[in-house]
Amino acid sequence: MAISVTILSTITALHLIAFVFAVGAEHRRSKATVVPDKYDERTYCLYSTDASTVYGLSAFGLLLLSQTVLNGVTRCLCFGRGLVSGTSVTAWTIFFFIFSWVSFLGSEACLLAGSARNAYHTKYRGIFGGDDLSCATLRKGVFAAGAALSLLSLVGSIFFYCLHSKADTGGWHKHREEGIGMASSDYAREQHQQSEHGKA
């Protein structure tokens, strides 16, 4: 299977845009401050924008789309004509297939968990003074980990696709060579029979 520049460009673009969204989500995490209620002496948590949740879910969706395209083209390494066995290319193809999936799942887990946690807001608390009030926020670094893993997923996906394109020739070449061999043997047999008839 020949390497398609379109497929490579699509996978790379989706991963890079997802990386940008993940970095944006890290910088736009919700922050909370304890503020007094205007109407009584109680305090509550006031949260900033939820843009981080939107960025995180966008990155999640883009990575999922990229992985779907990649595994749709390569048939997830499980379906299709099969790879050329007994070569180092095949071994590296399997390695990067596993590597891309592990980094992809890790990135998706960070992005989804970070988005869900960032969207969670502590409910109103009736505490006087506000010093003991704990406002739940997303811990720093979750979206950053998702961004880093998305880059690793990109590297794994590119290497997997390129190596798979080189190794995914076993079925075609095997049948083509068998066909050529059978045709050659049939031709030789026919020539031999004609020569035998000529001698008779």
The mean of the pLDDT values for the chain is: 79
For residue 100, the model assigns a pLDDT of 95
pLDDT at 137 exceeding the cut of 60: yes
Helices (H) and strands (E) counted in the chain, each on its own, are 5, 3
Q: 3-state SS string over 158-186?
A: HHHHHHHHHHCCHHHHHHHHHHHHHHHHH
What is the bridge-based pairing of β-strands 32-36 and 125-128? unpaired
Percent of the residues in the chain that have a pLDDT greater than 90, as a whole number = 42
Over the stretch 171-193, which tens digit does the pLDDT of each residue have? Answer: 444 444 444 444 455 555 666 56
pLDDT at 92 exceeding the cut of 50: yes
Over the stretch 49-84, which tens digit does the pLDDT of each residue have? Answer: 788 999 999 999 999 999 999 999 888 766 555 565
pLDDT at 45 exceeding the cut of 60: yes
Q: What is the pTM of this model?
A: 0.73
User: Which residue in 104, 121, 105, 101 sits closest to 53, CA to CA?
Assistant: 121
* Whether 137 contacts 30, CB under 8 Å: yes
